[in-house]
Structure 1
Amino acid sequence: MTAMMRPVSLSFAGLAAAGLALAAPAPVQAQGRGGAGRPGQSYANPSAVIAAELALAKDGRERGQWAALADAAAPEAVLLTGGVGAPGLVWAQQWFRGRSQILPGGTREPYEVWSSCDGSLVVSRGAWRHEGRTGSFAAIWQHQGDGKYRWLIEQDLASRAGPAEPPEMIVARVADCPERARAALGKDGKPAKPEKSKPVKAKDLPPLDPKGRAGRAADGSLSWEMTVQPAGEWRLLARWKHQGGEETILDEKVAG
């Protein structure tokens, strides 16, 4: 890893030296689904992202952080990198290519997840610990055509210290389902299954704007945006539909 391409977005790295591993997970506490009508009319499965987070941590312990993150990344995943006068976003798969450093163990565990109604996007937040140091992370996960979740953004939260003690429960929340989702219900009262999308191959990725990247759930119930300023300041923002309005679930900024 060179000085000109220093990753600052990898929660696995912690303070640039923490390779993170699997901690004993807390039980999951599911909180109410949003308003599409009767329970069960959402395809959200936040527990699947919690499982993906824990698998990522375990893989990082066993094979090293770069290999684990690369395997768990979506083809369109991006990383925030820093360097002398050149902060910006890069395609994760291209950055990981050829990097196989194995870092010592630590712990990483998700504490909260927020899912879109349709389950196409999920935000996770948690903490890492390594050699007495703690920190927090956030990630954006996307449901893939093969049924798996893969991360789109993996970001250290420099403004948040890790909690002194892990919470007793992992909290999982689901966004309100939009009106058009209700209208699309079939005669049996169940929504149509989401169409499978053809995954984009890393070699087919278009040029990436290093100063910004954004996305939203297929049903519009959750969105995210990552912006980077020339001086190195970055902001990760995620919003969702909840209790009849739009709320911010993540708004993290770091000055350059």
Structure 2
Amino acid sequence: MLAFVGAWLIPLVWVIGNAFLSKAMFSGSGGSWTFTLSNFERVWKAAPFGIYYGNTLLVTAAIFAVQLVTLTLAAYAFARIPFVGRQAVFMLFLVQIMVPPDVLIFSNYRTINALGLLDTKLGIMLPYFATSFGIFLLRQAFKQFPYELEEAARMEGSSTPGILLRIYVPLTRPIYLSFAIVSISYHWNDFLWPLIVTDSPDNRMLTVGLAMFAKSSEAGVQWTDVSTAVLIVAAPLLIGFLLFQRQFIGSFIHSGLKG
């Protein structure tokens, strides 16, 4: 395990070294082992990373916020509300898990184009507002709660939204945290769909902006600049994991589901 971790850390250490040491040190021109932040200042000014950060934060947060609503309502419906064809509809939802997202790119692109949402932030977000994985995860958790708990709440005069907010959501916080890790990391690192659906820097995501920066004539084969840009993009997720790694690991442990 230690050998595996060491092999995984090699590229990360190399990127950090390139980002914080002088360009001359890694270009073979005889630089010294001097800690510097000038690489970040130079790279930040070379491309509109501030705009990319704003776009990525907005898209990632908006997708997650809408997903919380849609997956909670859908999971409750599949777990607690009897209706004709419930199992068949749920199986159709599960089919989405088996279909790779790349297979749907062409049909999603045609839909976004027909709606006039190309090169917009809403166009990036729209295909991800519903998630079959999150619905499945939360439905399994909701099904474990005894019906008597909900019946007691209704006898006290609580409505269905009140039951969701006061009983189901608080008791499934580990599930929500587990899903948050998956959703936020996926959409923060998503590249192909934002690349296809956007053209202008005003709507460009961090991953696409990084690719454009790496291919630009200014960056060329300057690995120091490219590594610095990579660290700028990856830093929020790395810092978040280091700060909340116990909560992250605990959420996955406590989200183990039965049945």
**Would the TM-score normalized by the shorter structure come out above 0.5?**
no
Rg: which structure is higher? 2
Q: Which has the higher contact order (CA 8 A, sep 6+)?
A: 2
Higher strand share: 1
TM-score normalized with structure 1 length: 0.27
